[in-house]
Amino acid sequence: MFRGASSGAIHNPLRARCAERVRKMRAMQLAEPGKPLRLADREIGKPGPGQLLLRVLACGVCRTDLHIVDGELPHPDRTVIPGHEIVGEVIERGARAEWFGIGERVGVPWLGSTCGDCRYCRTGRENLCDGARFTGHHIDGGYAEFALADARYCFALPQGYAPEEAAPLLCAGLIGYRALSIAGDAQTLGIYGFGAAAHIVAQVARFQGRKLFAFTRPGDAEAQRFALALGAAWAGGSDAAPPEPLDAAILFAPVVVSVANLTRRDGEEFLALAPRVPVRTSVEIFPLERANEALARVREGRINGAAVLVMPERTARSG
């Protein structure tokens, strides 16, 4: 945890000059549900008390983003920047935002803030808070070059992951980890729907010594090969029976609308575990302006692993 200079200032002179010169950022924004995202110039916000201003390095493309874009979640009465699997570099801190230092890389998840006072928050179930606000829905997210985030709800990231590799850990990984924890000590585990979350939780399950059975769309031989390569004992269509009884099953069904499904404790536990497994994410990289294409590919199930948006300089280095 950062214990350095006082918050509220940019400490790197070069960053200070850049921040002074660059007042606008590019963002893919949603004005109306059911319509494509539009590339636009937006003002770069100033961090308020407890907030961090991040230079976005990468942002995962999640199925929950599709629920927002397609209007399956209530649309706020404003233009929205989606994206809640954000890996960003801290470039400025608001007052009292002393959890992270300038230049540090942090992760921003779906859960953007909670009330902190309700019975759910007081009993370790902040994922159920009625006053919760979500990144990329109520709070502008990471389909942009910069983002603001509440420092209390950001995560320190494990070493050894490039930004595009770390991004899927922040939702796909956390969803899978929480579901796996709820499955208890099940030794034979079925996973239905082998996408971004499943390909991460499969690695954790194998690390824990569980026997894994993967169920894909009938006839999806490529996804079945992918599951077997990650250690599944068997892979087949969702219309087939597994070769032996399951102790538990986790369903990553695309027709299910995602909700606030994790707490900060879940995130801290999983991100500490990931490098021990070690979890390796399979990602397909898209530049920011191709966000609509990435969403379409996720919608159609044509991504093995996870889709990730990267900002221009990351795209240049990756490609």
Q: Give bridge partners of residue 147 from the DSSP assignment.
A: 54
Q: Give the pLDDT band of residue 5 (cuts 50, 70, 90).
A: very low
Q: Which residues have C-beta within 8 Å of that of residue 186, sequence separation ≥ 6?
A: 210, 246, 247, 248
Helix axes 221-229, 196-207, angle to 10 degrees: 30
- Helix spans in the chain (H): 13-21, 63-69, 119-122, 163-166, 172-182, 196-207, 221-229, 264-273, 291-299, 312-318
What mean pLDDT do residues 150-163 have? 97
Cα three-residue angle 29-30-31, rounded to 5 degrees: 115
- 52 close to 93: Cβ distance less than 8 angstroms: yes
Question: What is this structure's pTM?
Answer: 0.87
Over residues 95-136, the pLDDT tens digits come to: 999 889 999 999 999 999 999 999 999 999 999 999 999 999
Instruction: Tell me what percent of the residues of the chain surpass a pLDDT of 70.
Output: 88
What mean pLDDT do residues 88-94 have? 97
CATH topology of domain 174-251: Rossmann fold (3.40.50)
CATH superfamily for 13-169+282-318 is Medium-chain alcohol dehydrogenases, catalytic domain (3.90.180.10)
User: What local confidence, expressed as pLDDT, does residue 7 receive?
Assistant: 37
- 2 close to 100: Cβ distance less than 8 angstroms: yes
- Which tokens go with 63? 């199925």
Per-domain boundaries in the chain: 13-169+282-318, 174-251
CA–CA separation, 20 vs 184, rounded Å? 52
CA–CA separation, 44 vs 22, rounded Å? 8
Over residues 164-212, the pLDDT tens digits come to: 999 999 999 998 999 999 899 999 999 999 889 999 999 999 999 999 9
